[in-house]
Structure 1
Amino acid sequence: MADVIQLNENTWSFEDGFVRFFLLVGEEKAVLIDSGMNCPDAAEQAATLTDKPLMLLNTHGDGDHTSGTSAFSEIYLHPDDYVKCDVCNRYPGTKLHAIADGDVIDLGGRPLRIIHIPGHTAGSVAILDVNNRVLIAGDSVQKGHIYMFGDKREPDIYEASLDKLIALGDEYDTIYASHDECVLPGDYASRVKASWQKVRAGEVSYEIADLFGNKVKSYTTDDCGFYLI
């Protein structure tokens, strides 16, 4: 069971000790954005906070964001991650609602716009809570270390996705991140991009770390970090 923190009148973060996910409530519907790593009861917890019909929308398909999926008959997810992150086989009874760049999901007076940002995974998306001027960025923008190793990652197109978020910067003031600090200033995608460019240019030293049996290069900057092979 995750610790729940109320961020505003109709938004909560769920902290499960490794990753963070969110509950957003509108006038007609509610949505869980991701469902954590250790929270098969995510839907049950959310139901204690709202009586609105609850849906599940994923920023991407990594296992640490999908633990509560089996409680839902349907999932909103980019189709690339439904396949490449093996969500289709891990939750075979769950119907996919494929989301795409520019889609809008309206909770009732609370529109959420989908922004496709491949790189961390092929189907990674950010979600713009339009009226509240908040960007929910998944793993792609954060203060912690961003996983960029393994066959699911697309490092060569990651910077272009950051540029996409930066170009939309006048539409949000705040970023909610899935790891490390929750609430980040609206310019944080620019900071992550600057750090990524330094890493790619060989300007940042690294240490070797062991992650889930993988020997990876751990890069740390003042604003974030990256794990790379």
Structure 2
Amino acid sequence: MHIRDDWFTVERIDEDTFAISEYGHWENVHSYLLIGGRCAALIDTGIGISDISDVVKRITRLPIKVLTTHVHWDHIGSHGRFDDIYVHELEEEWLTDGIPGLPLEQIRRDVGRDISIPVPPSFDPDRYEPFRGKPTALVRDGDTLDLGGRALTFLHTPGHSPGHLCIYEEKRGYLFTADLIYKGTLYAFYPTTDPSRFVRSVEKVNGLPFVTRLLPGHLDLGLDRAFMADVGRACRQLAAAGLDRHGTGVHEFGSFQIYF
């Protein structure tokens, strides 16, 4: 299957798993579509510059369950195009009311800057509004979802945000890490973040029994368990030095940085 789209890039991970990416924006955001026997899961819905549901419909006609890794604007942009939305219980109010202390003007600046390809005619950064709405389901650590032949487990991995989730498909060894682990700058310096919990979350996923591939929320798609172990060692080093706290700055580790 080859999907052409002016904004999104669709890459096939396997026969029924797709990365839907926004390489024309500085965030390089990835959303993921997982096809099951009864329904499909869409892990995050991107920035909202273009409507991701149009791409999803070209891949599958199955009912879609949107699985929100965390309620930041670059991961919930097309939530309003879907009816069935899951979110961790600690971020329900963020989804309904917005993130306290985050000005709309700042979001609009970040949405509209450093775009390298043409945007859809309907997009206007000065009119951009982050999604707000009520989820249909709240999840907790360890909850599972069966798509029909595909079982997913929600892992509560706070630190980058209070209700951040990684999604684990143990049978295939896929770990969808969202903003916890990727090759770039890992952020836990905002007031709504928690560096010590971030470190514990990285340790938590490093303890999973079987991981063949990391599927992150940003930048490089080709990550494996060895990279996750590298991030784990870095976090342990920071914690041992007492640096897992706000205000200690950017810590460099070669192909990635951790910003506390």
Q: Does 1:227 align with 2:237?
A: no
Does the Cα contact within 8 Å between 1:79 and 1:123 map onto a contact in 2?
yes
* Residues 71/180 of structure 1: CA separation in 2 closer, same or farther (3 Å cut): same
Q: Does 1:161 align with 2:201?
A: yes
Q: Bigger CA drift: 218-227 or 99-108? A: 218-227
User: Paired residue for 1:87, among 67, 89, 95?
Assistant: 95
User: Paired residue for 2:34, among 24, 31, 42?
Assistant: 24
Aligned counterparts of 1:94 and 1:74: Cα–Cα separation in 2? 10
- The aligned residue for residue 219 of structure 2 is 180
User: Paired residue for 1:12, among 9, 13, 18?
Assistant: 18
Does the Cα contact within 8 Å between 1:11 and 1:24 map onto a contact in 2?
yes
Tell me how far 1:43 sits from its aligned partner: 1.7
Aligned counterparts of 1:63 and 1:147: Cα–Cα separation in 2? 15
User: Paired residue for 2:83, among 73, 89, 92?
Assistant: 73
Does the Cα contact within 8 Å between 1:35 and 1:67 map onto a contact in 2?
yes
Structure 2 counterparts to residues 109-188 of structure 1, below 5 A: 109-168=149-208, 170-188=209-227
Q: How many residue pairs align between the two structures?
A: 214
* Residues 216/40 of structure 1: CA separation in 2 closer, same or farther (3 Å cut): farther
- Partner amino acid, structure 2, of 1:87: L
Tell me how far 1:6 sits from its aligned partner: 1.1
Aligned counterparts of 1:48 and 1:79: Cα–Cα separation in 2? 31
Does the Cα contact within 8 Å between 2:95 and 2:134 map onto a contact in 1?
no
* Residues 40/89 of structure 1: CA separation in 2 closer, same or farther (3 Å cut): farther
Aligned counterparts of 1:57 and 1:47: Cα–Cα separation in 2? 17
User: Paired residue for 1:55, among 51, 54, 65?
Assistant: 65
Cα deviations across residues 75-98 of structure 1 (Å, max 9, x unaligned)?
Answer: 101021222xx2212544433410
- Partner amino acid, structure 2, of 1:68: S
Higher strand share: 1
- Partner amino acid, structure 2, of 1:79: E
- Partner amino acid, structure 2, of 1:171: F
Aligned counterparts of 1:39 and 1:27: Cα–Cα separation in 2? 30
Gapped runs of 5+ residues in structure 1? 204-214
Please give the TM-score of this superposition, normalised by the length of structure 1: 0.85
4+ runs of 1 displaced by more than 6 Å?
Answer: none
Gapped runs of 5+ residues in structure 2? 1-6, 99-130
* Residues 96/216 of structure 1: CA separation in 2 closer, same or farther (3 Å cut): farther
Secondary structure at the counterpart of residue 143 of structure 1 = coil
- Partner amino acid, structure 2, of 1:2: F
Aligned counterparts of 2:211 and 2:78: Cα–Cα separation in 1? 28
Tell me how far 1:73 sits from its aligned partner: 2.5
* Residues 216/48 of structure 1: CA separation in 2 closer, same or farther (3 Å cut): farther
Cα deviations across residues 138-174 of structure 1 (Å, max 9, x unaligned)?
Answer: 1101111111111210112112111111111x22211
Aligned counterparts of 1:9 and 1:74: Cα–Cα separation in 2? 24
Aligned counterparts of 2:135 and 2:158: Cα–Cα separation in 1? 22
Tell me how far 1:216 sits from its aligned partner: 9.7
Cα deviations across residues 21-70 of structure 1 (Å, max 9, x unaligned)?
Answer: 11110111011101111445112211110111111001111111110111
Does the Cα contact within 8 Å between 2:212 and 2:224 map onto a contact in 1?
yes
Percent identity over the alignment? 26
RMSD (Å), alpha carbons: 2.1
Aligned counterparts of 2:222 and 2:139: Cα–Cα separation in 1? 25
Aligned counterparts of 2:9 and 2:215: Cα–Cα separation in 1? 16
- Partner amino acid, structure 2, of 1:187: A
